Amino acid sequence: MAFDKTVSFLKALKKNNNRDWFEKNKSKYLDAKEEFEVFVQQLIKPISKFDKKINPEMDAKKCVFRIYKDVRFSKDKTPYKAHFGAHFTPGGKNSSVAGYYIHFQPGALFIAGGNWNPEPPQLNAIRQEIDYNGDKLIKILRSKSFKTYFDGLSDENKLKTLPKGFDKENKHIELLKLKSFVVYHEISDSKLKSKDFEKTIINGFKAMHPFLEFLREAGAN
């Protein structure tokens, strides 16, 4: 499908991120949002074919995030996100269950998945699972299908010291130092006009599915 309205609106928003401009262009925003939601809806059933925890009849609106920013604790006071985002999880976009994410932004398009900055109980559950069953995670991360899309886990905010309760001799200590368990795959804008764009996203999500299942089995939900 074409993304002309979405791309055009987001490019303009990046240059005019203020309430006056947004209100004057509200109709363009609604058209772009609808276009993006149609695309998100098209992804749900293909995802549900390999991830049985995803309801094939789920409404795209339960996956798509609001474009309005919460600026209370941010140095950047621009009121709107410069992208559209959608999170596919069994419990909807705001669920803490490990899921699939698409970040739609001209020049910064990517897919991702996992648990980003989980709360302490979730973080502890994941670390315990890695401690008990880390070899399984290593096997997933080294699999051919996974490595086709992902270089490994993001080390954003990784601890420089040992996590409490674990020994430095633990063979999975570098994984245990992580505070987020997330993978990313960047997609070039040129793919937007490709017939394989949707297939690229679905195949990327399918490649990360075993990783998400590991996190879910850890009780990180």
Q: For residue 72, is pLDDT > 80?
A: no
Q: For residue 45, is pLDDT > 80?
A: yes
Average pLDDT of span 90-98: 87
So what's the pLDDT on residue 71?
73
Exposure on the CB side of residue 57, measured as CA atoms within 13 A? 0
Share of the chain above pLDDT 70, in %: 98
Per the CB < 8 A criterion, the answer to whether 109 and 188 are in contact is yes
CATH class of 4-217: alpha beta
Sequence-ordered list of residues with C-beta below 8 angstroms from that of 179, at least 6 positions apart, any chain: 117, 123, 156, 157, 158, 159
Q: What's the whole-number average pLDDT of the chain?
A: 93
DSSP-based three-state secondary structure for 92: coil
**pLDDT classification of 95: cutoffs 50, 70, 90:** confident
Sequence-ordered list of residues with C-beta below 8 angstroms from that of 135, at least 6 positions apart, any chain: none
DSSP-based three-state secondary structure for 217: helix
Average pLDDT of span 38-56: 97
Q: What residue spans define the domains of the chain? A: 4-217
Share of the chain above pLDDT 90, in %: 84
| Residue with more model confidence, 12 or 218 | 12
What does R_g of the chain's alpha carbons equal in angstroms?
19
So what's the pLDDT on residue 89?
94
DSSP 5-68: HHHHHHHHHHH--SHHHHHHTHHHHHHHHHHHHHHHHHHHHHHHHH-TTS-TT--GGGTBPPSB
Calculate ∠ Cα 200-113-33, nearest 5°: 70
Per the CB < 8 A criterion, the answer to whether 83 and 89 are in contact is no
So what's the pLDDT on residue 74?
74
DSSP-based three-state secondary structure for 80: strand
DSSP 105-141: -TT-EEEEEEESS--HHHHHHHHHHHHHHHHHHHHHH
DSSP-based three-state secondary structure for 88: strand
So what's the pLDDT on residue 13?
97
Average pLDDT of span 52-74: 91
**pLDDT classification of 200: cutoffs 50, 70, 90:** very high
Q: For residue 221, is pLDDT > 60?
A: no
Q: For residue 220, is pLDDT > 60?
A: no
DSSP 152-199: S---TT--SSPPTT--TT-TTHHHHT-S-EEEEEEE-GGGGGSTTHHH
